[in-house]
Chains A and B, each alone.
Chain A
Amino acid sequence: MNLLSINGEQHQLDVPDDMPLLWVLRDVLGLTGTKFGCGIAQCGACTVHLDGEAVRSCVLPVSAVAGKAIVTIEAIAENAVGAKVQQAWLEHEVVQCGYCQSGQIMSATALLQYKPSPSDAEIDAGMAGNICRCGTYTRIRAAIKDIGQA
Chain B
Amino acid sequence: MDKSRFAVSRRGFLKGSSAALGGLVLSTWLPGFVPRSVAAEATAAGRLGDQSPRAYGAYVRIGHDGLVTVISPKIEMGQGAHTGIAMMVAEELEVPLSAVTIEDAPPDSELYADSLMQFQATGGSTSTRHSWKPLREAGATARLLLIQAAAARWGVDASQCHAKNGEVFGPAEQKLGYGELVDAASELPLPTEVVLKTPEQFTLLGTPARRIDTPNKVNGKAQFTIDLSVPGMLIASTMTCPVYGGTLLSVDDTTAKKVPGVRDVIKLDNAVAVTASNYWACQQGLKALKVEWDLGEHASINSAQIDEALLQASSRDGVVAHSTGDIGKALESAASRFEAVYEQAFLSHSPLEPMTCVAHVRADACELWVGTQVPVFAQQTAAKISGLPADKIIVNNQLIGGAFGRRLDYDFITQAVDVARHVSYPIKLIWSREEDMTHDLYRPQYADRLTAALDADGKPTGWQHRIAGASVLGRYMGSLPENGVDADAVEVAIEPIYELQNLLVNYVREEPKVVPVSWWRGVGPLRSTYALECFIDELAHNAGADPVEFRLSLLAEQPRAQAVLRLAAEKAGWGNTLPAGQGRGVAVSAVFGSYVATVVEMEMLGDKAVRIKRLVSAIDCGLVTNPTSVHAQIEGGTLFGLSASLFNEILIEQGVVQQTNFHNYRQLRINEAPGVEVHIVPSLEAPGGVGETGTALIGPALVNALHAASGTRLRRLPLSRAGYYPA
Taking beta carbons and an 8 Å cutoff, which residues of A are in contact with B? 16, 19-20, 23, 26-28, 30-40, 42-43, 45, 72-74, 76-77, 86, 89-90, 93, 95-102, 105, 123-125, 127-141
Contacts and interface: CB of A to CB of B under 8 A. Distances in A.
14 contacts: A16-B280, A27-B277, A27-B278, A36-B279, A37-B352, A40-B663, A42-B661, A43-B667, A77-B219, A98-B217, A101-B218, A125-B671, A134-B78, A134-B640
Contact of B402 (A31, A34, A97): A97
B214 A98 contact: yes
Given A35-B352, A97-B77, A105-B218, A139 B635 contact: yes
Contacts of A95: 78, 211, 213-214, 217-218
Interface in B230-250: 235
Contact of A131 (B215, B403, B662, B676): B662
A40 B639 CA distance: 23
Contact of A32 (B220, B235, B280, B399): B220
Contacts of B662: 37-38, 40, 42-43, 131
Given A95-B211, A96-B636, A99-B224, A89 B218 contact: yes
Contact of A98 (B78, B661, B669): B78
B218 A133 contact: no
A139 B632 contact: yes
Interface size class of B (residues with CB under 8 A): 35 or more
A138 B78 CA distance: 16
B721 interface: no
Contacts of B354: 36-37
A122 B632 CA distance: 24
B349 to A, nearest CB: 9
Contacts of B80: 96
Interface string B270-303: 0000000111100000000000000000000000
Interface in B602-640: 628, 632, 635-640
Nearest to B234: A27
B350 interface: yes
A89 B352 CA distance: 19
B210 A93 contact: yes
Given A35-B353, A90-B214, A138-B673, 14 more contacts: A27-B280, A32-B226, A34-B220, A37-B662, A40-B663, A97-B352, A97-B401, A127-B670, A129-B669, A133-B351, A133-B667, A134-B402, A138-B635, A138-B676
A133 B219 contact: no
A131 B669 contact: yes
B223 interface: yes
Contacts of B640: 133-135
A20 B227 CA distance: 17
B675 interface: yes
B229 interface: yes
Contacts of B260: 16
User: Which of B226, B229, B277, B280 gathers most chain A CB within 10 Å?
Assistant: B280
A27 B108 CA distance: 34
B310 to A, nearest CB: 27
B404 interface: yes
Interface in B190-227: 210-211, 213-215, 217-224, 226-227
B689 to A, nearest CB: 16
B211 A33 contact: no
Q: Output the residue of A26, A35, A72, A133 with the most chain B CB within 10 A.
A: A133
Contacts of B226: 32, 35-36
Contacts of B352: 35, 37, 43, 45, 97, 99-100, 131-133
B668 interface: yes
Nearest to A125: B671
